[in-house]
Amino acid sequence: MRRNMQILLAILAFSLSLAGCDIYEQEDPSTYSTEELFDAFWEGMNTNYVYWSIEDTDWDDAYDAYKANIDALAADYDANRAEIGREIAEMTEDLHDGHMNVSLVSSSSGYTYLVNPRLFQILSGMGISDPYAAYNYTTMENQTGGLSQADQQWKTANYDADDYTTLTESDYYSETSSRIYTYRTNDASSFDDSVSFTVPSTPTSHSSFYGFLGRMNVGTSSDPSYIVYITFNSFLFTECLDDAQVQAFYNTWLEWIADDTTAGIIVDLRSNTGGYVADSCYIWAPLISSGTKAVVGKTRRKTGENRLDYSTWTPYYVQGSGEETFSGKVCVITNTLTASMGEFSTLFLKNALGAYQIGGTTLGGLGVLYESADTSQEVFAAGSFDAGEYVNVYMAGKQFRAQDGTYVDGNGIEPDETVDYDYNAFTTSGTDTRYEAALTWMKTALGVS
Amino acid sequence: MKRFSLIAALVFLPSLLFAGTWKVGLGAGMTVDFLQTSTGAHSSNEYSPYPGFSVSLSAAYDFLPYVGLESGFSLVQKSYKWENTASGDVNYDQNLFGEIPLWVMGYLPFGVRDITVSPYLGAGAWIGYWFLHHRKGSMKSTNYESASDLTNPSYSYSENVDFDDDTDNRFEWGLGLRTGVDVAIGRWIVRADFSWMPSLNSMVKDYQKNTVDRYNDIIVFGVSGMYAWGA
């Protein structure tokens, strides 16, 4: 019996030592060497990417398929950056996160190669044969500072006139918020009242921020009935409300949406790529009555290191602050570059106010970002991270699911009425078919000509 | 079924050889789960023990006054707390298992007047099945509720979580050590027990490269009442 007990205890001790030894310890991807960038990228994605639950991409297979190639290329990172980017573009081509953007920065000087899976999916859908080359070619054109000789050679070798033309004439590239702003301000006389603002460099993000707000009377002078039109390029009110122009714009918005003579609102979110979540408290909350909680969807975060270690879903909503919910007609205009808070706002306007969506399908990037790569990596085990010294991965830190259970990321929000973008009409004569369609819809909905 | 038959055979076979003592009992206790896992480089994520409970129905056969076998069925809640110290998010996982242990028990009985006191040591193994995953806690919402107070409101929840066949390993097994004391007055026995029952397999299936495992590692403080008959 004593011998048996000794054997049992020995087995017990051995088994416990086995149990305590084999828990995998993930290292911080930013601490990997440049030569190890594949492992850093793969590991960081494995833990920090938040949409694994809806992906068809087998990330383990990607490891086996790409590790040898990228390891070999990373041995001479600067010379092979463009090719490493292409390999990463292939690895990630089916991923859904619309915010995801991989930057391959030069260790000395030169162009930063970019991989944006969701955008490449859209460009591919436009008929662009080589989205990676077409996108990097066009962004190289905006590069401040010179390109290295290697970058110049890559650009020349990958130039494709058809791809280039298709991209530059797309709504993604040319239906810009600045053009929309310019056309509206130039055409301010078509509104009865208008106000606009321009902030060249915002206090925190140092982005340019501009917007136009106008209203036109479609009733009579004695019995006015207004259509209010609003557009702005980003959600940066949270950091810009101290600016006198922005303040005037915002106060006018509050005044008009509370005015009984406002019968309809057109919200133009084309090429609005997002910004502060808190902006919904300023811009959208006054449209619904206080006490109303307009749930747009749900978000969840990661709570562990494995791909599918998720938290509970938490509701993502706008808490009303208005005296009453706006009861008039609402139309929202969107395009390929309506993204993130632009998409959250589109869903809010549709869900809470029954808005009619006109234009193009939105980009499909509504996951929630954390403040910085450091915050994401060190604090939340989700979202942006650095893979070694020169590769930065920007992506969502929380997964978003719409109230109807669908995912906006990787899909976008389809309009109720698709209105095609007309490059020549828009860029040469300023004819804005999507705006005109929205105005026509609104007048019809209000029963005016 | 085969496992149950084997356990039953191990418990009952000695009774054919020895005219020993049978005992049956009911017990309850408190568990503490020292989850064994890794948070990698994410130092803001912390796991810590959180109390759970156990209830058990036990049957034992002492084929000598100082040696016996014990088995039974237990409901064991293994709970732990996950916290993100930076955000203040807190989640409590409360995992309920059904377990069948088999213990080899060694007693050192001595008498004090009409009372028999039996300190004991036990060693054994157990199998379990994870059949309920409940979680509760609070998470910061993504949105804000007021322009005058730009802090994310907390969202509290308490919910059962559906099992995922791809990721959740619901079968569990492990080894155990226990110690305690039985106090017998006539045929009735009161037991105070302390046991350590580490799991030897992960709650997470190996569904990806570099899976970070989660091993339950519980201690149990329990009391039970037993009734004895036989020699």
First vs last C-alpha separation in chain B: 31
Chain A residue numbers touching B84 (CB-CB < 8 A): 303, 379-380
- Averaged pLDDT for residues A197-213: 94
| pLDDT exceeds 70 at position A283 | yes
Q: Look at residue B2 in the predicted model and tell me its pLDDT.
A: 59
Q: Chain A interface, mutation test: which of B89, B104, B143, most A Cβ atoms within 10 Å?
A: B143
How do residues A61-71 score in pLDDT, each as one tens digit? 999 999 999 99
What average pLDDT does this structure show over A384-391? 94
Residue pLDDT, tens place only, A138-189:
998 877 666 888 898 999 999 999 999 999 999 999 999 999 999 999 999 9
Say what the pLDDT of residue A418 is. Answer: 98
| Residue B17 in contact with partner chain A when CB distance is under 8 A | no
| pLDDT above 90 as % of chain A | 85
Q: Using CA atoms, how far apart are residues A301 and B176, in angstroms rounded to an integer?
A: 36
| Weakest-pLDDT range from A101-115, A116-130, B46-60, B191-205 | A101-115
Tokens representing A17 are: 């030592």
Please name the residue of chain A whose CA is at the shortest distance from the CA of residue B86.
Answer: A379
For chain B of 231 residues, list the mean pLDDT of each consecutive stretch of 10: 58 60 97 95 91 98 94 98 92 98 97 94 98 96 89 95 97 98 96 98 96 97 96 69
- Mean pLDDT (chain A, rounded): 92
Q: Which chain A residues have a beta carbon less than 8 Å from that of B142? A: 277, 299, 314, 316, 368, 398
Short-list B14, B12, B47, CA closest to B33:
B47
> At A382, is the pLDDT very low, low, confident or very high (cuts 50, 70, 90)?
confident
Residue type (1 letter), B80: Y
Percent of chain A whose predicted confidence (pLDDT) is above 70: 92
Does A269 have pLDDT greater than 70?
Answer: yes
Per-window interface: A 31-50 vs B, CB < 8 A? 31, 43, 46-47
Assess whether pLDDT exceeds 90 at residue A137. Answer: yes
Q: Do B79 and B50 contact (CB within 8 A), yes or no?
A: yes
The more confidently predicted of residues A380 and A224 is A224
pTM: 0.91
Q: Are A288 and A318 in contact (CB under 8 A)?
A: yes
Cα-Cα-Cα-Cα torsion B53, B59, B63, B69, nearest 10 degrees, comes to -40
pLDDT band for position A89 (50/70/90)?
very high
pLDDT 10s digits, A225-248:
999 999 999 999 999 999 999 999
Q: How confident is the model at residue A107 (pLDDT cuts 50, 70, 90)?
A: confident
**Long-range contacts made by residues B192-197, C-beta under 8 angstroms, separation at least 24?**
B192/B222, B192/B223, B193/B27, B193/B29, B193/B220, B193/B221, B193/B222, B193/B223, B193/B224, B194/B219, B194/B220, B194/B221, B194/B222, B195/B122, B195/B219, B195/B220, B195/B222, B196/B220, B197/B76, B197/B101, B197/B126
Of A27, A314, A317, the CB nearest to B41: A27
Q: Tell me, what's the pLDDT at A1?
A: 45
Pairing state of beta strands A391-394 and B188-198?
unpaired
Going by C-alpha positions, the residue among A230, A225, A348 that lies closest to residue A284 is A348
pLDDT of residue A373: 53
Across the range A304-333, mean pLDDT stands at: 96
Chain A residues with beta carbon closer than 8 angstroms to that of B36: 19-20, 23
The pLDDT of residue A430 is 87
ipTM: 0.88
